[in-house]
Amino acid sequence: MTKPKPIRVLVVAGARPNFVKIAPLMDRLSSLTSGEAETLLLHTGQHYDEALSQLFFDQLGIPRPQINLEVGSGPHGKQTAEIMARFEPVVLDWKPDVVVVVGDVNSTLACALVAVKLCVPVAHVEAGLRSFDRTMPEEINRLLTDAISDFLFASEPSGVENLRREGVAEEKIHLVGNVMIDSLQKFLRVARQTSVLRDLGLLPYGQPSATEGKPRPYAVLTMHRPSNVDEKEKLASLLEVLGEVGQQIPILFPAHPRTQERLERFGLQSKVRTRWTEADCGVLVTGPIGYLEFLHLMSEATFVLTDSGGIQEETTVLGVPCLTLRENTERPITVEEGTNTVVGTDPVCILTAARAILAGKGKKGRTPTLWDGRAAERIVAILMDRLMSAA
């Protein structure tokens, strides 16, 4: 009898949130023997800045990608097309048994589309999430990726319901938990050792070490969605109300390069600060920070304001109240069970919600089922089981 060939798994990552999701998958895949599986890690190069990419690989211990497509930034059509054009020869050459894509960024859709057209099964990690807002580029990426995937790994029950409603066959859907939380569970302890609180002036002066002592109260802000930062009036009005919140509690704002660029282009730098002293308040903007530093910062925050998806999930697990600066969420479990409140972008709603938290009325919440640090383990077990029996 001939020995079965190892299963070839091609894992795709392209943008910052992808790296946090592939880390536990790569970890798990690396525990398989070379007779069982061969893994190829491919970076599309959608995010290329040191702070958005290499730093995450280093901190999360992700192996160096064997291939980097180096597509860089560009308009959606061009970026997606570039990724497709450069990814196709890789698939033709390496002949994977499955292509694994994560999340909802342009790299996710582009690589899924190439694979399915070459008749290679696609596994989508974080399938089924829906904001029901088709003006969000990520919603289009989610809908289309799910429509062409063979393995749909959902992180929460709403994902399963959405896929069923869209007519996805039951045997393709697997509720496995949340890979982003696998990373959080693994790295939280080491994240708490970073010097970020001291570096950002949040520890009272004169304390002996970065890991000792309680920081002064602060909030954390992230904002990079086109709907919040691409129009001057919208961004200005958000910064106005955030500045008001910042009078009551200092706000740390590690800004995405896209947001930093908009702040400059719209001449809005006066609405934020770039440094402060102990007594200062307001919104302090910094460049993007590492995964560990950000986790540390979130874990000690009084609350978090964000338009990101993943941060709604991370704050739920950390038990830190989260105010989502969007009109909807594709992650309803963070509202139903977790610490998330979708406040939208109306200044009065933001102020009211922030004041409620400062008055001690922040949501407590609980960690959703299966967000237990073992999602990657379940995903790899299902993939290996199905692909080996199909071989």
Contacts of 359 (CB under 8 A, 6+ apart): none
What is the rounded distance in angstroms from the CA atom of residue 278 to the CA atom of residue 12?
43
> By rule CB under 6 A, what string of x and - marks binding of each residue 334-353 to ligand UD1?
--------------------
Residue 52 near ligand UD1 by CB under 6 A: yes
| Stretch touching ligand UD1 by CB under 6 A, among 110-118, 253-261, 327-335, 370-378 | 253-261
State the amino acid at position 191 in one-letter form.
Answer: A
Nearer to ligand UD1, 39 or 222 (CB): 222
CA 42/CA 19 separation, integer angstroms? 11
Closest separation in Å from C-beta 234 to ligand UD1: 15
- Quote the least distance from Cβ 73 to ligand UD1, whole Å: 4
**Residue number, 54 or 367, with CB nearest to ligand UD1:** 54
Interface residue with ligand UD1 among 124, 172, 256, 374 (CB under 6 A) is 256
CB of 103 to ligand UD1, least distance (A): 7
Strand partners, 171: none
Which DSSP symbol is given to 202?
Answer: -
Stretch that binds ligand UD1, among 23-31, 44-52, 89-97, 186-194 (CB under 6 A): 44-52
What is the Cα–Cα distance from 56 to 22, expressed in whole angstroms?
Answer: 11
Total residues at the site for ligand UD1 (CB under 6 A)? 20
Per CB under 6 A, 46 contacts ligand UD1: yes
Comparing CB distances to ligand UD1, the nearer of 17 and 338 is: 17
Question: Is 271 within 8 Å of 223 (Cβ atoms)?
Answer: no
Nearer to ligand UD1, 106 or 329 (CB): 106
Binding ligand UD1 (rule: CB under 6 A), the pick from 15, 110, 221, 370 is 15
Of the candidate residues 257, 319, 344, 347, the single one contacting ligand UD1 (CB under 6 A)? 257
Residues 11 and 42: beta-carbon distance below 8 Å: yes
> Is-catalytic flag, 256?
no
Determine the interface stretch with ligand UD1 among 45-53, 57-65, 210-218, 240-248 (rule: CB under 6 A): 45-53
Query: Tokens at residue 232, please?
Result: 């001057």
Distances (CA, A) of 333 to 129, 156, 179, 364: 11, 7, 15, 13
Residues 278-317: x where in contact with ligand UD1 by CB under 6 A, - otherwise, as a string: ------------------------------x---------
Separation between Cα atoms, residue 59 and residue 187, nearest integer Å: 9
Instruction: Please identify which residue in 7, 17, 304, 386 interacts with ligand UD1, judged by CB under 6 A.
Output: 17
Query: What mask, x for binding ligand UD1 by CB under 6 A, covers residues 220 to 239?
Result: ----x---------------
Q: Report the alpha-carbon distance of residue 290 to residue 49 in Å, rounded.
A: 12
Which of 43, 47, 174, 224 is catalytic? The answer is 224
Q: Which of 12, 22, 100, 105 binds ligand UD1 (CB under 6 A)?
A: 105
Q: Is the CB of 136 or the CB of 197 nearer to ligand UD1?
A: 136
DSSP string, 217-259: P-EEEE---HHHHSSHHHHHHHHHHHHHHHHHS-EEEE--HHH
Beta bridge partners of 324: 306, 342
Instruction: For the CB of residue 138, give the shortest distance to ligand UD1 in the complex, in Å.
Output: 5
Choice from 32, 38, 48, 207 touching ligand UD1 (CB under 6 A)? 48
Cβ contacts of 80 within 8 Å, gap of 6 or more: 106, 109, 110
E strands, 37-172, where?
Answer: 37-43, 67-68, 98-102, 122-125, 151-154
Options 8, 58, 137, 143; binder of ligand UD1; rule CB under 6 A = 137
User: What 3-state DSSP class applies to 39?
Assistant: strand
Q: Minimum distance between the CB of residue 90 and ligand UD1, rounded to whole angstroms?
A: 19
DSSP string, 59-86: HHTPPPPSEE-------HHHHHHHHHHH
Binding stretches for ligand UD1 (CB under 6 A): 15-17, 46-49, 52, 73, 104-106, 137-138, 224, 256-258, 261, 308
Kindly list the catalytic residues. 224
